[in-house]
């Protein structure tokens, strides 16, 4: 017989089974455990909130996690001999964090006293002091923990004063950093460029790229064009500080950092130039007697830039954050415009442009090398028989194209230019790369001007006039070129017709010297001329220097075969003695050349702004450059 099971009847009359005793016992134990756990948790909360409330409240109030940007080391710029031309020197900057320096409860008198003290220690001007005070006061709450740059590159004496008075200057920090330094000072300044701090307007645009207040940016030359490569990437570090900005190292404070790991900065890349600073020095020395001008030297067989100089120059060390008022005023008021890179600005070329007219005449078959034209000293043009004079008023007589180049006969090129027409002259100018930027990529390079019939119809008051063609044919009128364009043009003649892009960067390396990218020579165009065409032009340029009828014969070099062309470009309608007129009305002086003739190693263009005569002024400058290059530089470059 089975035992009778006890049942219960609910209110509806339905029977239900009784819960097992084991289940009830387990449920009770589970309830007890839950209650104990909650009890312990509540006890801990009570202990933290009541017993240790003041301790943690003070810890939270006093300590902050301060994040600091670690600036990346800017990449160096080096010349072809691996000498730094833009590098970094150790420096100390002063920053101020508003949240640590002051608060809303500090009396105005106390705040002003401490600002005055800081300004005194750092030798700040009243304007700089007031600007700093205003900036601290107006800092938005969200930005109060961001350091404000106060002064860069402080002296040892200033550093000592700030450190000595640190207890009264909470939030003021001395940051070890680096300052851009240019060992060669004014040498190659336009080419290399300089850096200085970005302003507030620039900061708003550059924030997205990681720039912050106090950062520097390239302002000219290589520094500006290659800013993204040179800049590198900043790192980030963090530390726990108290309300006065003083780092805390106790265990509880450090625990606030949790799993934070510092991010190391990545240094910028190094840039190695094709330029030789010894060549730069030669160019600078050659311009010593002329207040304004430029010289460009290139390698004809590669397009590599050997040197680019513009006068007057400036000191990039001064412009990189330490410019005095006097230096700034001098740059602004200097009539010779030291901040303009004249090697890349366009000017009237004068007779060095005649090679364009000569190439067009020979290539089209309009003139043969042996053909001659007569120069009586002038050319009468049009129905009104307007006279266009030759620079030699007595005339050159019957001259061939090589003799016309050698003696720079204007009448020969007037006659040839008239037959060719201005548009065909423009076509040949463009073949040689004129009328467009060379692509060097620095300093707002000018494209120059290659006038056409259409160009004059749009810009000249009475539209195109036939006489414009005659002026263009001798490099006058509205045609304009840059010294760099002319150096590349004469390099093209020298090498037999290959127009290169100018190359100024040899390679890019990491900070530890590993090559990332080497720049190859790039061909812009292969000119479609017969060999005889360029050979005839070369012969004429040879005669310029080495024939008794040549305009540069007096300055020839006994130990070097040079081919070139002189040019004197008028800037007013009448040619006058340079000594008789104000500087800005004097002729520009040009000389473009290459050497040696049989195996060209260098091509140069010398431009002397309002410098006088191409033969008497620019010619000797060019010969000095060439003579020193082959005596001082080339032997060193060719030594194994």
Which residues of the chain fall short of a pLDDT of 50?
Answer: 1-8, 11-16, 56-62
Identify which of 442, 489, 223 has the alpha carbon closest to the alpha carbon of residue 343: 442
Q: Do 152 and 197 touch, CB atoms closer than 8 A? A: yes
Q: Do 406 and 547 touch, CB atoms closer than 8 A? A: yes
Q: Both tokens of residue 479?
A: 């045609």
What is the second-level CATH architecture of the domain 66-273?
Alpha-Beta Complex (3.90)
CA 292, CA 189: separation in Å to the nearest integer?
A: 15
Q: Do 607 and 295 touch, CB atoms closer than 8 A? A: yes
What is residue 153's predicted lDDT score, i.e. its pLDDT?
A: 83
What is residue 388's predicted lDDT score, i.e. its pLDDT?
A: 92
CA 319, CA 192: separation in Å to the nearest integer?
A: 13
CA 470, CA 403: separation in Å to the nearest integer?
A: 19
What is residue 504's predicted lDDT score, i.e. its pLDDT?
A: 97
CA 639, CA 607: separation in Å to the nearest integer?
A: 31
Task: Give all strands of the β-sheet with 563-569 in edge-to-edge order.
Answer: 305-311, 293-298, 602-608, 588-595, 563-569
What is residue 239's predicted lDDT score, i.e. its pLDDT?
A: 75
Q: Do 460 and 410 touch, CB atoms closer than 8 A? A: no
CA 473, CA 483: separation in Å to the nearest integer?
A: 18
User: Burial, 501: exposed, middle or buried (Cβ in 10 Å; 0-12, 13-18, 19+)?
Assistant: middle
What is residue 383's predicted lDDT score, i.e. its pLDDT?
A: 77
Helices and strands in the chain, H and E counts: 24, 24
Buried b (16+ CB within 10 A) or exposed e, 181-204: ebebebbbbbbbbbbbebeeeeee
What is residue 166's predicted lDDT score, i.e. its pLDDT?
A: 87
Angle ∠(545,187,318) on CA atoms, nearest 5: 150
What is residue 373's predicted lDDT score, i.e. its pLDDT?
A: 97
Q: Do 192 and 85 touch, CB atoms closer than 8 A? A: yes
H/E stretch holding 624 = helix 619-628
207 Cβ contact partners less than 8 Å away, ≥ 6 residues apart: none
What is residue 5's predicted lDDT score, i.e. its pLDDT?
A: 46
348 three-class SS: coil
Count, residues in the chain? 640
Q: Do 607 and 618 touch, CB atoms closer than 8 A? A: yes
H/E stretch holding 363 = helix 354-363
CA 76, CA 74: separation in Å to the nearest integer?
A: 7
329 Cβ contact partners less than 8 Å away, ≥ 6 residues apart: none
Q: Do 430 and 356 touch, CB atoms closer than 8 A? A: no
486 three-class SS: helix
Q: Do domains 66-273 and 348-439+447-480 have the same CATH topology?
A: no
CATH number, domain 348-439+447-480 = 3.40.710.10
What is residue 465's predicted lDDT score, i.e. its pLDDT?
A: 92
CA 609, CA 614: separation in Å to the nearest integer?
A: 11
What is residue 245's predicted lDDT score, i.e. its pLDDT?
A: 65
- pTM of structure: 0.83
Domain segments of the chain as ranges: 66-273, 348-439+447-480
Radius of gyration of the CA atoms of the chain, in A: 38
What is residue 1's predicted lDDT score, i.e. its pLDDT?
A: 44
Give Cα separations from 201 to 139, 205, 215 (angstroms).
16, 7, 13
Q: Which residue reads 């430029």 in tokens? A: 294
Residue 633 CA to chain centroid, in angstroms?
Answer: 26
DSSP, residue by residue, 97-109: -HHHH--TTS-HH
Buried b (16+ CB within 10 A) or exposed e, 397-425: eebbbbbbbbbbbbbbbbbbbbebbbebb
Question: DSSP secondary-structure letter at 538?
Answer: H
H/E stretch holding 225 = helix 221-225
Identify which of 498, 145, 173, 196 has the alpha carbon closest to the alpha carbon of residue 319: 196
CA 472, CA 426: separation in Å to the nearest integer?
A: 9
Q: Give the orientation angle of helix 531-546 with respect to helix 483-495, to 10 degrees.
A: 110
């Amino acid at each position: 017989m089975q035992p009778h099971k006890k049942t219960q009847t609910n209110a509806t009359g339905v029977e239900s089974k009784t819960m097992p005793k084991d289940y009830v016992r387990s449920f009770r134990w589970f309830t007890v455990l839950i209650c104990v756990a909650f009890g312990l948790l509540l006890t801990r909360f009570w202990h933290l909130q009541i017993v240790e409330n003041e301790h943690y409240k003070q810890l939270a109030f006093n300590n902050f996690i301060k994040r600091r940007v670690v600036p990346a080391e800017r990449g160096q710029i080096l010349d072809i001999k691996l000498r730094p031309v833009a590098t970094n020197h150790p420096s100390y900057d002063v920053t101020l964090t508003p949240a640590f320096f002051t608060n809303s409860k500090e009396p105005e008198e106390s705040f002003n006293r401490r600002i005055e003290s800081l300004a005194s220690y750092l030798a700040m001007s009243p304007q700089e002091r007031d600007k700093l005070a205003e900036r601290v006061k107006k800092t938005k709450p969200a930005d109060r923990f961001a350091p404000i740059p106060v002064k860069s590159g402080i002296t040892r004496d200033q550093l000592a004063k700030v450190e000595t008075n640190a207890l009264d200057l909470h939030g003021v920090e001395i940051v070890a950093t680096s300052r851009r330094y240019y060992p060669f000072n004014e040498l190659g300044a336009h080419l290399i460029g300089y850096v200085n701090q970005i302003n507030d307007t620039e900061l708003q645009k550059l924030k997205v790229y990681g720039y912050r207040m106090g950062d520097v940016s390239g302002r000219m030359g290589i520094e500006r064009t290659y800013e993204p490569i040179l800049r590198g990437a900043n790192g980030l570090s963090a530390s726990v500080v108290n309300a006065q900005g003083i780092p805390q190292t106790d265990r509880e404070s450090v625990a606030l950092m949790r799993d934070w790991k510092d991010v190391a900065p990545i240094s910028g890349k190094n840039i190695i130039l094709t330029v030789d600073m010894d060549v730069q020095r030669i160019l600078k020395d050659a311009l010593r007697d002329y207040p304004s001008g430029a010289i460009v030297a290139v390698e004809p067989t590669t397009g590599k830039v050997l040197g680019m100089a513009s006068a007057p120059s400036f000191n990039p060390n001064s412009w990189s954050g330490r410019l005095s008022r006097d230096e700034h005023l001098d740059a602004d008021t200097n009539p010779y415009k030291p901040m303009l890179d004249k090697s890349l600005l366009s000017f009237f070329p004068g007779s060095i442009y005649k090679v364009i007219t000569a190439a067009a005449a020979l290539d089209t078959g309009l003139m043969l090398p042996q053909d001659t034209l007569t120069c009586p000293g002038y050319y009468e043009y049009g129905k009104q028989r307007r006279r266009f004079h030759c620079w030699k008023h007595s005339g050159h007589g019957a001259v061939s194209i090589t003799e016309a180049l050698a003696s720079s006969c204007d009448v020969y090129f007037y006659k040839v230019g008239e037959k060719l027409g201005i548009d065909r002259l423009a076509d040949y100018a463009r073949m040689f790369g004129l009328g467009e930027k060379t692509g060097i990529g620095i300093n707002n390079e000018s494209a120059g001007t290659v006038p056409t019939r259409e160009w004059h119809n749009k810009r000249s008051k009475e539209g195109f006039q036939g006489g414009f063609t005659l002026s263009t044919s001798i490099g006058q009128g509205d045609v304009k070129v840059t010294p760099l364009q002319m150096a590349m043009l004469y390099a093209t003649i020298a090498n037999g017709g290959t127009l290169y892009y100018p190359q100024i960067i040899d390679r890019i390396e990491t900070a530890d010297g590993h090559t990332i990218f080497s720049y190859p020579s790039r061909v812009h165009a292969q000119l479609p001329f017969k060999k005889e065409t360029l050979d005839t032009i070369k012969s004429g340029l040879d005669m310029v220097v080495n024939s008794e009828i040549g305009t540069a014969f007096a300055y020839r070099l006994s130990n070097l075969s040079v081919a070139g062309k002189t040019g004197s470009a008028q800037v007013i309608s009448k040619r006058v003695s340079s000594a008789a007129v104000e500087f800005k009305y004097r002729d520009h002086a040009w000389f473009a050349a290459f050497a040696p003739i049989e195996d060209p190693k260098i091509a140069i263009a010398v431009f002397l702004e309002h410098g006088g005569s191409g033969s008497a002024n620019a010619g000797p400058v060019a010969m000095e450059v060439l003579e020193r290059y082959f005596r001082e530089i080339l032997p060193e470059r060719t030594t194994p």
